[in-house]
Chains A and B, each alone.
Chain A
Amino acid sequence: MIEVEQLRKQYGELTAVDGVSFTARPGEIFGLLGPNGAGKTTTIGCISGLLQPTAGRVRVMGHDVVRDGTAARQALGVVPQEIALYEDLSAVENLKYWGGAQGLRNPLLGERIRQVLELTGLEDRGADQVKRFSGGMKRRLNFACGIVHQPQVLLLDEPTVGVDPQSRVRLLELVRAQARAGACVLYTTHYMEEAETLCDRLAIVDRGKVIAAGTLAELRSMLEQRDLLRLSGVFQPAAAREAVAPINHIEVLQAEENLMVLSLAEASRKLPAIFAALEAAGADVRGTTLTQPSLESLFIKLTGKELRE
């Protein structure tokens, strides 16, 4: 279990994490979703004991990470964002080293190495040097090094960045398997689709703060089943806002010279009225994208910007 209470981390004047609180339970995958620079990696750093929190408290399996750091780290497995492997060593040698760092000894270490190599599909490549691996294989081995000691709590910091689709599917399945085995998994990502398909519960973070949290269903309900309509072209922002305002239950999320983002129910039925109003306001609509309610639309609704910005 991970318990984070009012966590704050400051670097001089910059507040990277500002009052973040959440609890992740055993057997569940808890997602931290947010754009780059939102404070996800800093939060992971504080949970893993790498960074000293400025304020607040973090407990891992009941152990305070500041006061009882060694016990907390014994329960932790971390899969870092970068591929933290020795490329001149073989896969087995890497696993021996990282397993040894976690305190595993033979024969248990040997048995666990065999298991994780099989789990990650690298059983035939154990003796090969890592520098001969593809990017996806390195990612899988990076994951294997994080779980070789069967951690109770697993921290995954954007583990699928730069991974090919096949390896991504395989990695996500590995993460699910860890949760099914009873591990508490904290997963950070800026990929909305990953968070939607993988996480049992989520916290959406932006600029160091949690702006929404709950299960996927709870978060979707915040959108009230409203669609997201994205229009590209040439607009006079103020005039365009005024023109669409009379249309029932429409909310303008974003109005710029070349982009308008609207939130509304049953958008497909209201498209003709919207186009007519915008044309009357002198707008030239060149493209239209209609999106069903999703985490991305929730993020845009809450922050007024896209997740990948």
Chain B
Amino acid sequence: MRFIWISAIKDLRRARRDPFGFATWLGIPLLLGVMLTMVFGGNGAPLPKGRLLIADEDHSFASGVLAVAFAREPLDKMLVVERVNRREGRERIDRGEASAFLVIPKGLQQAFLRNQPFRLQLFTNPSQRISPQIVEETLSIMVEGGFYVQRAAAAELRTVDAGQSAAIGAVYRRIMSLRKGLDPPLIDLETQTIQEKKQPKSIAAIFFPTMLFMSIWMIASAQAADIWKERALGALRRVAVTPARLSAFLAGRLVFVALVFGGVTLAGIAVARWLGGVPVANLPVSAAWATLSGTAFYLLMLLLTMQASSQYAAHVLVNLVAFPMALVGGCFFPFDIMPGWMADIGRLTPNGWAVGQFASMVSGPLDARGLATALAALVGVSGPAFLLALRRLRRSFAI
């Protein structure tokens, strides 16, 4: 047990002699993050075009008029309208994939023609500002207009069919000029801002998990390669002939890399919060997750690097595996800006999974059950990886 700390302190001393290495590992992702944020215009800037989802359950002339209005000029320059069913729309707005979601329940036309109260539902995305507001304002105007049409031309409306939309427009314009002195509209618009979940709010927030895990990935890769240096020095053989155990030696390295990952994570979070303005939720849990993930990455890369026949072969092997995994697995580019199919594949990689978990933790409420499952998975991977690495050390690598 004591040798674990002796080994960890030895590695910390070695690292202290090479501060430039750590500065590079932390500095490169930081620099990239700052540059990308500047290029994409961070600070919560909205995406250029909003997406409106409409679930039309009435399938009537009136509901069609309502939906088509958003696809006409000038709104078509600001909004992309997509027809969905209620379930799909709710799921997508919850995931933050749209600016707003309008539900037109069954009975709109009937209520409209009979001058009865009716309620539309609008869900807006809290991470976007302008597009949901456009939808809400437009809808309010249309609801109000509909009311005036009811009041001024209810009798005529009963005779209107789908081919007389121009007549409705004429009636609408006439009613608009008479709006003063009329009663409040009976058709009501209920607007709900959905509870904010795991949606990054800005480019800086989108890139933050990626940049942090790029650092962690690079450090894990470099630290795994260090075992070859120790082997070349003869240090592993020397440890093997002392009463100290190789398991303690390996555990010492884990303690060391965990301390490094912890430091890098806290530094990354500090930079993201205070320089990038990125809100970071669940700070202790998020930091612990990044640290543990880094330690697991280190073990996996250590296992990989020790399979090689030489230091050079280890370098090539790690680059062949680690680089594409970093590229696809969200350690170079965020999943949000990847093509969907690539992001789907990337989320299946160990690093992609860990980045995804981290992004969820820092951006929303903590799911205790999900966290417990994720931690169990992490331990489930790290434990066997440690044992396999130790076996490799004992049987051939260290002697």
Contact = CB atoms under 8 A, between A and B. Distances in A.
Interface of A: 45, 48-51, 70, 73-74, 76, 78, 80, 82-89, 93, 96-98, 100-103, 105, 129, 145
Contact of A102 (B10, B14, B242, B399): B242
Contacts of A76: 241
Given A101-B244, A103-B243, A82 B14 contact: no
Interface in B1-20: 2-3, 6-7, 10, 13-14, 17-18
28 contacts: A49-B240, A49-B241, A50-B237, A50-B240, A50-B399, A73-B242, A73-B243, A74-B243, A78-B241, A80-B238, A82-B234, A83-B234, A84-B233, A84-B237, A84-B238, A85-B235, A86-B233, A86-B235, A88-B14, A89-B13, A89-B17, A97-B6, A98-B242, A101-B6, A101-B239, A101-B242, A102-B244, A103-B244
A88 B242 contact: no
Contacts, number: 70
Interface in B210-250: 233-235, 237-244
A78 B238 contact: yes
Residue from A51, A82, A84 having most chain B Cβ neighbours under 10 A? A84
Contacts of B238: 78, 80, 84, 98, 101, 145
Nearest to A78: B241
A97 B242 contact: no
B242 A82 contact: no
Contacts of B233: 82-87
B234 A100 contact: no
Contacts of A105: 2
Interface of B: 2-3, 6-7, 10, 13-14, 17-18, 233-235, 237-244, 399
B341 to A, nearest CB: 45
A105 B241 CA distance: 19
Contacts of A145: 238
A103 B234 CA distance: 20
A227 to B, nearest CB: 42
Contact of B10 (A49, A89, A103, A129): A89
B2 to A, nearest CB: 7
Contacts of A82: 233-234
Contacts of A74: 243
Nearest to A84: B234
Contacts of A85: 233, 235
Given A89-B14, A101-B243, A102-B242, 14 more contacts: A48-B241, A50-B240, A80-B234, A80-B238, A82-B234, A83-B233, A83-B234, A85-B235, A86-B233, A88-B17, A93-B10, A98-B238, A100-B6, A101-B242
A97 B235 CA distance: 11
B241 A51 contact: no
A100 B2 contact: yes
Contacts of A129: 17
Nearest to A87: B233
Contact of A86 (B14, B237, B399): B14
A70 B13 CA distance: 28
A102 B243 contact: yes
Shortest Cβ-Cβ A-B pairs, 4 listed:
A84-B234, A82-B234, A100-B6, A101-B242
Given A78-B241, A102-B242, A88 B235 contact: no
Nearest to B245: A70
A70 B247 CA distance: 14
A78 B234 CA distance: 12
A78 B241 CA distance: 7
A113 to B, nearest CB: 14
A93 B243 contact: no
A83 B3 CA distance: 22
A129 B240 CA distance: 24
Nearest to B18: A88
A73 B10 contact: no
B38 to A, nearest CB: 37
B260 to A, nearest CB: 16
A234 to B, nearest CB: 45
Contact of B241 (A73, A89, A93, A103): A73
B247 to A, nearest CB: 13
A226 B399 CA distance: 43
A96 B10 CA distance: 9
Nearest to B10: A97
A28 to B, nearest CB: 21
Contact of A93 (B13, B240, B399): B13
Nearest to B240: A50
Contacts of A86: 10, 14, 233, 235
Contacts of A93: 10, 13
Contacts of B243: 70, 73-74, 101-103
A51 B14 CA distance: 29
A12 to B, nearest CB: 14
Contacts of A98: 238, 242
A101 B3 contact: yes
A76 B237 CA distance: 14
A100 B3 contact: yes
A83 B233 CA distance: 7
Contacts of A103: 243-244
A89 B2 CA distance: 20
Contact of B399 (A45, A70, A89): A45
B232 to A, nearest CB: 9
A173 to B, nearest CB: 23
Given A45-B399, A86-B10, A93-B10, A50 B242 contact: no
